Amino acid sequence: MTPTTETTVGIGGAAESTDMVLNIGPQHPSTHGVLRLRLVLDGERIVSAEPVIGYMHRGAEKLFEARDYRQIIMLANRHDWLSAFSNELGVVLGVERMLGMEVPTRAVWTRTLLAELNRVLNHLMFLGSYPLELGGITPVFYAFREREVLQNVMEEVSGGRMHYMFNRVGGLKEDLPAGWATRARAAVAAVRSRMDRFDDLVLGNEIFRGRTRDVGVLAPETVHAYGVSGPIARASGVDFDLRRDEPYLAYGELQDTLKVVTRQEGDCLARFEVLLEQTHNALDLADACLDRLAELPPGPINQRLPKVLKAPEGHTYAWTENPLGINGYYLVSKGEKTPYRLKLRSASYNNIQALVELLPGTLVADMVAILGSLFFVVGDIDK
């Protein structure tokens, strides 16, 4: 008798061991812009993750080469649209270094003040939007109310709500309006008095803590390997802040007020806590700058520049502690009125790479919690 082989086929049985490829985006609402994540899933668990970028790329670095040193400030302040003033600083600091130019003291302290107010504006957006991504809608209303208070004083001094265009090579566009310091101090005090809302509504919420504690733990070794910086790196115990470690602007004189906030846990909750505490410290730094400006005698806010500004031949690298992390500009000049090369090192570009290490092994349900805790702006990735 001829032997026979019997095969039993179970419906859907093969699917249990088959990986599924899932695309998140490029229009997913939790991605702060147009980002795509390509996930490979084994059931509910992520096997691998690949951030796919470039959907917003506008070629800013190439455009820098066709604009003079006044015009590139306008381009530079747009990649991280929540940190426009801080973005401008890197450009003007680099050009001033190439020129060997000393900026008036009044401009230095005003720049520091506006950079810290811009830091608060940036952080408030994430303090409101991160709980929103996890299902809590109330904090975003408070965040936008506080942002409006600060936006009003920033708009009064610069004329712009988001893209301030207030920095100039050699200083600032113009001096502060009469009575502005008093209104700015009142705005800082008003925001500070209501910051406990985020402690009560968010950190005091057991659902939020349950969704974020021990989720998306980022090791210090991974921080160093991928060049992660800013609040995300400090939440993993990497104690580095350019404002303290390589002071620029007036930060060298603010060391008593400046507090570098760190955590050791490296999880989503730690990243939110660092952001919140850093916001408190930025308000303190803004007050310290207002105190110092009140003591300064009247003086110039900028340097007189030639009609055609040319940086001498050479190269330099200027970096700043932007709200989202380290922002650097590598400037190469051949003595012309336009840069020969201006390479931008943005914080979000490096920070988002950590998703390759963070997401594998986690559940799909935790993906949005991890993604939102990296505090990135997609324009800052794509440039």
Q: What angle do CA 146, 149, 152 make, to 5 degrees?
A: 145
Which token pair is 341?
Answer: 């090369």
Contacts of 47 (CB under 8 A, 6+ apart): 19, 39, 40, 41, 360
Fold (topology level) of 57-379: Cytochrome-c3 Hydrogenase; chain B (1.10.645)
**In the prediction, which pLDDT does 29 show?**
58
The type of residue at 321 is E
Contacts of 17 (CB under 8 A, 6+ apart): none
Which token pair is 298?
Answer: 């009247």
Which token pair is 370?
Answer: 């991890």
**In the prediction, which pLDDT does 297 show?**
92
**In the prediction, which pLDDT does 265 show?**
94
Q: Is the peptide bond before 131 cis (omega within 30 degrees of 0)?
A: no
pTM: 0.91
pLDDT in tens, the chain (383 residues): 555 554 433 344 444 556 788 888 787 656 667 888 899 998 889 999 999 988 888 888 999 999 999 899 988 888 888 999 999 999 999 999 999 999 999 999 999 999 999 999 999 999 999 999 898 899 999 999 999 999 999 999 998 888 999 999 999 999 999 999 999 999 999 999 999 989 888 998 999 999 999 999 999 999 999 999 999 999 999 999 999 999 999 999 999 999 999 999 999 999 999 999 999 999 999 999 999 999 999 999 999 999 899 999 999 999 999 999 999 999 999 999 999 999 999 999 999 999 999 999 999 989 989 998 999 988 888 87
Instruction: Give the residue extent of every domain in the chain.
Output: 18-48, 57-379
Which token pair is 117?
Answer: 């107010």
